[in-house]
Structure 1
Amino acid sequence: MKTHCLVVVLATCCSMVTLTPQFATAQTSWVGTTGDFTVSSNWSSGVPDSGTVASISNGGTAQLTVDDVVDLNNLIIAEGSGSSGTLIIDGSDVQPRQIEIGKLGTGTITIEDGYLDNNFSGQSIFVGGHDNSGGASGLGTYNVNGGATRSGDDFQLGRNGTGTLNFTGGNMEGVYTVIGKFGTGIWNQSGGVYDQRGGDFEIGDGGKPNSDRDISGDRMGIMNFTGGVVQVSNAFAMGNRIGGSQINISGGGLAITGDGTNETGDARGNNLYVGRGMDWGSVADASSVSGSHELRITGGDAVIAVGLDLLFDPNDIFQSATLITEITGTEHTPILVGRNADIGNGQLQVELNGYSPVSGDSWTLIQAGADLTDAVAAIDEMVTAEGDLDLTFDGVIDSNDVLEHNINASSGSIIGQFEATDFSLAPLTAGLSWEIDYATNNAVTLSVVGEAIDLSGDYNNDGFVDLADYTVWRDNLGATISLPNEGSGVTPGEVTMDDYTVWKQNFGTSLGGGSLSTSTVPEPSTIVLTLLGLVGAGTIARRCNG
């Protein structure tokens, strides 16, 4: 980031935020193709200033690539239905009041360096639709690859249409943060730091349960979090009201430890809700609630710290509120909760991804009453690793640019048990089984118990090597697939006579270790042998499943 002009930016900004913005009706529209934002001929009524609404909606691309301060009124990208426009900021400090990206059309802002700063009281950034009349379907994309961006109030993705954030570096700041208001919001983050300065962080809000119900849209929030840091000021609320949500965490640091010092109670503190459903009680028909919430945690590379409570669907209104544990190895990221974890209205789904568990493997999924000291220290190290960031927006990068954590809880416990568990996508070797412990050390622990049994030839994975497995082999002979429990000495990725031999050698074995049947082992028929010969000759590529 270029820093030599930041003091000028700060002085300009501070002198302005004490005033109430006066929104003018004058508007200047981009008429250029790809060109310099500061060139007058690229605008219908000259370069926009603090008394002008700037609209980039003609399909062109405006570029800001010099160290300068650009003071605007409203900034609108893709104002009308069917319109498009792009703004690239790579070096300037842009100070609009309200920002609308993809209001009704398709709009994009990309920040490489410099500032996009609308730090004015009550002014917001809307990405993907901004029209409460219903039916709006704007498409907005906000790319932050460096520099800094700040909203004076809301930062909303998908108010009515679809809004996407692609965040790879730099720093962002907002107050109330919404991923999917009435439309669809998508938050993709692999780097950078988002520091929320007030309000809740809402994924799939859906609007208030009153007249907002008449506004059309998917009401869906999606967050893909692979790196970087997010610090939440108050509640982190999946399904804040009647929306749906899906969060995928495989890296980075999520710190629900912000400045909730004035709101440390259950209602608005540093809580993580998987299906909040706030204010739903005034909805005459609870079927208006969108449905499901999925919090997927993959592997062990992330850090998740919750200052107060973890709650699954506390109002008991959603179709499902699910923690998906995707196991990739011997390490897995736990949800560290400073106080209580109330999981009674939640579900657990376990999946395997590239790892075959063995007996004795164990993973902590949720830790209640956790000491968060080491977790927030690890997150602070992630912030440092992101490089020089002006988190205070004071124009100077120094020791003050750190996250401020508020950790009040000192004890807590696991409340209830998951109402349902699903291991269908986590098959274990025969003889092993999954076990969940809710009682030890105020934690939810997932373990693998038992003794592995070799059931080679159990091609339908039912714990028996019998005639049903012969049928599976016969129906897939020649297919380019791998059968379950193929054993050794077979051709990988193909169903051949070697698989028949494995089945024949193990016929009659089971999890109990005894013989299942005295039936004669069937030999391959003449037809099967003929087919096998054709397969070997390349005449038949594969045999379809019956």
Structure 2
Amino acid sequence: MTTTARVVLAVIATAGWTSSTCGELLTRTWNGGDATWSSDDEWSPAGAPNNNGADTFHAVVPTGAALLDQDITISELSVQGGTIAGGNSLTVLDSLNWSGGRIGGEGTLTLAGATTIDSSGGWVELAGSRQVVTQGATTVAGTTLYINSSGDDAVPGPVWTNQGAFAVTDESDFSLQNYAGGQPSFVNHADGVFTKSGADTQTDVSVVFNNDGTVNVDSGTLALWNDGADGGAYNVASGGRLLMLAGTRALGGGSSLATAGVLQVSGGQLTIGGTATINELVIDGGALEFGDTPYSVTGPVTFTSGFWGSAADLTLNSSLNWSGGRIGGEGTLTLAGATTIDSSGGWVELPGSRQVVTQGATTVSGTTLYVYSTGDDAVPGPVWTNQGAFAVTDESDFSLQNYAGGQPSFVNHADGVFTKSGADTQTDVSVVFNNDGTVNVDSGTLAFSNSYLQTGGTLRLNGGAVAASQPLELQGGALEGHGVITGDVSNNAVISPNGPSGVLTIDGDLTLGVNSLIDIAVGGSTAGTGYGYLTEAGFTPLSLAGALAVTLTGEYTPDALSTFVVLRSNEDLTGALTNVANGGRLYTTDDSGSFLVSYGESSPFNNRHLVLSSFVPILPGDYNDDGRVDAADYTVWRDNLGSGVSLTNDSTPGVGPDDYLRWRNNFGRTDDSFAGGPSLSAGAAPEPGCWPVLLALLALRRRRG
């Protein structure tokens, strides 16, 4: 349409005129032959319809073929069957009612007014290289609109351009036919508003669909089967679904996507480069890629197959159900809600240099998670960081693929709890595993074929087993519980065997560093149930290093004849503990007594064992070790006040006011009374004066020193 014609139409519309204002509206019906539009005798009553100023026309084409042999302008058009073709343009000012038949040929069909396309369950067809422009309100219902390619690569296919309000209210489809030749397309112009509605209905668009305006999916499903380049807006209401099924679609930098309903990618490739607010997301095929702007998804995500990636950070605020496909790209994927990974015996993939952070509860079952190295030493591998509760319940594995390049890793954060369960199952972890949180092995086996590094946190065996192809590097934190570790352990952490069986077995070589601490709880005389112990079954002599700590639990007091074998090695013990030598005494952590500690070649027991024996209860304040707290002990305290020595029956270094309080509070007690018998009156404790005197004396002694 020329610029002049557009201005005229605009003036008419502004004035509130219709075509009938200029003259009588005359109806002309095509007789059904195959002839040119201008053939007067092919119309009934005779006379070809073409607005001439005096009269306006309503043309009806029920059958036959009317060939446009000149540019035609009419007020109304009803296409009920047959064909409109030819090489010229047709302008319909007021309304088109299209219920059947075909519109083809070349030139432009301009629909300036209302357009209704309803074939009552049938179809209509747009063919040739016809260009259609809708400027008014268009309603499509009960129809399949077949849009044919041209059949010739040199001839462009038909193009439908919407500049007005275009509404599809039910199952009506835009169906591509005859795929050879120039491809047909639908263009939603910058001024156009395309609206899909109809609950539980799906509109399939298999032609190229380009959106520079606004697409609203108020209800039902809008399914896109072909390519598209979009610079406009997609709005999906809570009852709507935008479905990508095939083709390559790019939402450019100026586009926007806002979904209160569902975005679903089932095939093809969808790239989102503009702004996006996504509620529910389903990926069950194809590829979904986000651009270099951070994105978030507020609702649940279901990922069953295909590829999902982004160049920037991506946050899922609700749940993720991942049963297949691969998540790749760069940036960080934050899983803030519950995550379920279950491929029913299949696999999922994490390639690229993607960083994944799980903050909620994660459950992995029935799955192999393939984690790829990058293939390039300069590019770091993917890292999965767990900050929440991460549970592996069966044979599921974390499997390293493509060993060259930046290595992938799993990091259990300080706030993370990683739990392996599933009796008689084994989870193989072939990626690097770093632990700063808590790793629980409740049942089954957690097997590391790559490095395990712990700088903090806890590795806890609750009856399960750990297998390690490389030495477990415990640089901090704790190793505790009961169960079996098959492999070597290099330890600078706290080792605390405990639990129902109380036996922690290392079926390999244990190397103790200077910061090691073997922490033993004694609550009875029976090994395993009364007290925990450590078994080491390596082939290299175990060199003792670090410290030993013993705590009495459950109000248990050992007798002097009880022995406690707290470490049993497969080879002779060498080295020495830093806080107690062989034959030395070790105070319990609660100052309730001391044990004789024996180990190594000079031990009276098995020189492969670390043994506690000859328990002596401590009577606090009995500084001369005569079995009673009396004035003589005060003299010992006074004579050593301010020194750095440890008094007898006191495990704290140095002599100060705290030692006086310990003596005063226990004055008059004996060995029997400390164990629960009668005591003498504490009122007999002599007072050396007042605290200022004591403090002054202490300060004086320190100055003299």
TM-score normalised to structure 2 length = 0.40
Structure with more helix by fraction: 1
Bigger RCO of structures 1 and 2 (CA < 8 A, at least 6 apart):
1
Kindly name which structure, 1 or 2, has the bigger radius of gyration based on alpha carbons. Answer: 2
